């Protein structure tokens, strides 16, 4: 997957988790929690959706890598590319 495709995946997951949020103005370099009304359970839902939809495992020690769109895409890009090869 390209970084743009991964970004769309994250937007899709965020739309499901926080349907009332305005995601069109999401800044890539600002933490999700600073832009959206997400609590820790919402954050875990993101991790669970990645696992359910794409079989991407995110270990607990890597949760900080999913803080912003930019860091999330950078973290997921090699993992999603491995998925395509499988």
N-terminal to C-terminal alpha carbon distance within the chain: 13
Q: Check pLDDT > 80 for residue 84.
A: no
pLDDT at 47: 95
Using one digit for the tens of pLDDT, what is the confidence trace for 2-25?
A: 999 999 999 999 999 999 998 988
Mean pLDDT of 22-46: 93
Mean pLDDT of 66-79: 96
Which of the four pLDDT bands, split at 50, 70 and 90, describes residue 82? Answer: low
Q: Check pLDDT > 60 for residue 39.
A: yes
Q: How many Å apart are CA 30 and CA 59, to the nearest integer? A: 22
Domain extents for the chain?
Answer: 3-77
CATH of region 3-77, choose from 1.20.1600.10, 1.10.569.10, 1.10.1200.10, 2.60.40.10: 1.10.1200.10
């Amino acid at each position: 997957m390209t970084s743009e495709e991964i970004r769309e995946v994250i937007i899709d997951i965020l739309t499901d988790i926080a349907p009332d949020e305005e995601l069109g103005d999401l800044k890539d370099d600002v933490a999700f929690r600073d832009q959206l009304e997400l609590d820790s359970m919402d954050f875990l839902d993101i991790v669970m959706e990645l696992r359910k939809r794409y079989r991407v495992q995110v270990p607990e020690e890597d949760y900080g890598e999913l803080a912003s769109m930019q860091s999330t895409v950078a973290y997921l890009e090699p993992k999603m590319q491995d998925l395509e090869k499988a």
